[in-house]
Amino acid sequence: MDVPIGVGIIGCGYAARHVHLPRLRDHAGKFRIVACSDMDAARADAFSREVEATPYHDTQSLLADDRVELVLVLTKPPSTHRDLALAALAAGCHVVVEKPMAEDVAQCDEMIAAVGAGQILTVHQNRRWDIDFLTVQDAMGRECVGTPRLIRNEYTAGYDGSAYDWGIHIVDQAVCLSRGRKFVEVSATMAKPCVDTPRDSKGFFTARLRTDDGVLHDVGMLPVVQGNAYRPGMMVPRFVLVGTAGVLIQQWCQRPEDAFGSEVRFEGSTSETPPPGDPLFVKAELAVPDFHARLYAAVRDGGQVPVTAASARRSVGLWHAICESGARGCMMAIDV
């Protein structure tokens, strides 16, 4: 029988209400929200009534509640993540930090160093469980396109975009698709570069990354062409894999229930190239693992954390390299 984990939530805003709460309720037998806190006392009180938890108006009071085993740090901006995570780890709690992990790599290193024996620190990079990404990851694992030479991973947004908020997802997916390869070069541009503090750059962006074995990764958030009666709207393909054996194009599709309306196209490099087979999302045995299920297994059973802090740290480092290249307007050698 599952023993529920006592959860304390710090930050009762959008991420708490609309991202984590539905998933925690899906796993009601595994998690029980026992406490919450927010800088806005009224918001903490309202959230506590909704989830039947104890409200606190400061972090230390929540961390002193001995029912709290797991702390979810769901605050914005990411500059708040380090101090809250360090306090929770010092109190002996397991910690989940909302993406991005922290403001910079140095803060990530502090957080990783603070993890004690038997504790876990993980980051909610939930887009690793999008069905389109899982399909592309599966295709790469089965070498459907042979040796990859170009990987495009692009998302559409408004002109201003939501650079770090969504951009970190795109970059994190690139880190996963690199399959351990080191990124050694970046060339980027940004809609609103900030030369003095590149990480504060905003708006749409596009970047070309090169790995140490020559694979190109094109990543970015591009403005949407809405279209009208005279000119159809256009969206870029969500993912494109180009390799020695063919090309695979995956259109936008986040949820399994949307998958049957999503298009995957494949063209082999020769007429003898075998097709890739059924995409991941139409396999009868599909059971998409989710972040919170893996989180429970990591806390209760000592399983692998859903997202390692080291991989989330790498994503932060790569995002900052993209911002610096965009702000400086030049190609840069990197080691990420």
pLDDT at 106 (0 to 100): 97
pLDDT at 284 (0 to 100): 37
Task: Identify the residue whose tokens are 């805003």.
Answer: 13
Cα distance between residue 160 and residue 143, in whole Å: 36
Mean pLDDT over each residue of the chain, to the nearest integer: 90
Q: Flag whether 297 is in a domain.
A: no
**Same domain membership, residue 116 and residue 44:** yes
Boundary residue ending a domain (93, 109, 124): 124
**Same domain membership, residue 269 and residue 166:** yes
- Of 121, 131, 27, 8, the C-alpha closest to 74 is 8
Q: Flag whether 310 is in a domain.
A: no
Tell me phi and psi for residue 102, to 5 degrees. -160, -175
- Of 266, 231, 232, the C-alpha closest to 248 is 266
pLDDT at 165 (0 to 100): 83
Is residue 108 a contact partner of residue 312, using CB atoms and an 8 Å limit?
A: yes
Cα distance between residue 210 and residue 214, in whole Å: 6
Question: What b/e readout covers 104-119, taking b as 16+ CB neighbours within 10 angstroms?
Answer: bbebbeebbebeeeee
- Provide the domain limits for residue 100: 5-124
Q: Flag whether 302 is in a domain.
A: no
pLDDT at 157 (0 to 100): 73
pLDDT at 51 (0 to 100): 97
**Same domain membership, residue 163 and residue 104:** no
Give the pLDDT confidence of 268-300 residue by residue, as tens digits. Answer: 888 877 777 666 554 534 445 689 999 999 999
Q: Flag whether 305 is in a domain.
A: no
Is residue 175 a contact partner of residue 315, using CB atoms and an 8 Å limit?
A: yes
Boundary residue ending a domain (90, 124, 158): 124
Count of domains observed in the chain: 2
DSSP secondary structure letter of residue 180: T
Q: Flag whether 120 is in a domain.
A: yes
Q: Which residues of the chain have pLDDT under 70?
A: 158-162, 225-234, 254-262, 277-289
Boundary residue ending a domain (124, 153, 181): 124
Strand ranges (E), the chain = 5-10, 31-37, 54-56, 70-73, 94-98, 121-124, 148-157, 183-192, 202-211, 216-223, 239-243, 246-250, 264-268, 332-333
Q: Residue 79 belongs to a domain with what CATH number?
A: 3.40.50.720
**Same domain membership, residue 150 and residue 35:** no
Which residues lie closer than 8 Å to 282 by C-beta, 6 or more apart? 259, 260
DSSP secondary structure letter of residue 248: E
